[in-house]
């Protein structure tokens, strides 16, 4: 069961799901964990209405709207293959309900997957390269020029990351660089973007 606490809703959005899973190891190097089930999603949105006061000024009022229920198939997959003791390829995929997580939150149906290659170059240095894909199907339509659109967004990103454990066990370094490209079916180029992110840091443990 999942609970999404978001100020864009009148109350917490709740997702209850039931999964049945299995593990399959067709070879010594291959492992597959898969589960499938059903998910029920409930949310009470905040609705804003506008009116004129006695001075003919526009005033707004926000109040809980009507509770909305959605349901759908849910799955989760994790598959890995070990080329050797140092190199592994991993595929993960999942779906489920979530929110946009912004001031004007909207509930969405999310499907995502990650394909990555991991390599432990040395006992101290490991690397990972891969691609992330996510599709967001929003449950509420968007009104643009008096036309309602069912919004769908697709985001794909490519990344490289590493971690390095120094000879001192209390000190390690890590880094990540990624390029992300997002598209939307809405007739507004402002909903499409691309960006590059880079992170470099250190961890101290005691």
Structure-token pair, residue 167: 């000879």
Residues in the chain: 206
Q: What is the pLDDT at residue 5?
A: 56
State the total domains in the chain: 1
Confidence of residue 58 (pLDDT cuts 50, 70, 90): confident
pTM: 0.80
CA-to-CA distance for 166 and 137, rounded, in angstroms?
44
Q: Which domain covers residue 46, as residue numbers?
A: 2-204
Q: What is the mean pLDDT of residues 45-49?
A: 72
- Whether 177 has a pLDDT exceeding 90, the answer reads yes
Q: What is the pLDDT at residue 189?
A: 62
CA-to-CA distance for 20 and 88, rounded, in angstroms?
26
Average pLDDT, rounded, for the chain: 87
Q: What is the mean pLDDT of residues 59-64?
A: 73
Note whether 14 and 41 are within 8 A (CB): yes
| pLDDT tens readout for residues 90-111 | 999 999 988 765 545 678 899 9
Confidence of residue 31 (pLDDT cuts 50, 70, 90): very high
Q: What is the mean pLDDT of residues 37-54?
A: 80
- Specify the long-range contacts of residues 183-186, CB closer than 8 Å, at least 24 apart: 183/153, 183/154, 183/155, 184/151, 184/152, 184/153, 184/154, 185/149, 185/151, 185/152, 185/153, 186/142, 186/144, 186/149, 186/151
């Amino acid at each position: 069961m999942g609970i999404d606490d978001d100020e864009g809703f009148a109350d917490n959005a709740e997702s209850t799901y039931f999964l049945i899973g299995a593990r399959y190891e067709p070879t010594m190097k291959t492992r597959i964990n898969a589960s499938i089930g059903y998910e029920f999603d409930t949310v009470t949105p905040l609705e804003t209405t506008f009116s004129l006061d006695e001075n003919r000024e526009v005033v707004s009022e926000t109040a809980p709207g009507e509770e909305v229920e959605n349901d759908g198939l849910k799955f989760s997959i994790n598959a890995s293959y070990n080329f050797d003791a140092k190199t592994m390829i991993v595929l993960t995929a999942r779906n489920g309900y979530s929110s946009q997580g912004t001031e004007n939150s909207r509930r969405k149906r999310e499907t995502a997957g990650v394909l990555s290659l991991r390599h432990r170059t040395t006992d101290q240095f490991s690397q990972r390269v891969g691609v992330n894909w996510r599709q967001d199907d929003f449950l509420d339509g968007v009104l643009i020029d008096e036309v309602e659109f069912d919004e769908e967004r697709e985001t794909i990103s490519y990344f490289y990351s590493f971690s390095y454990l120094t000879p001192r066990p209390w000190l390690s370094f890590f880094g990540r660089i990624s390029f992300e490209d997002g598209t939307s079916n809405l007739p507004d180029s402002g909903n499409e973007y691309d960006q590059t992110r880079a992170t470099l840091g250190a961890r101290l443990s005691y």
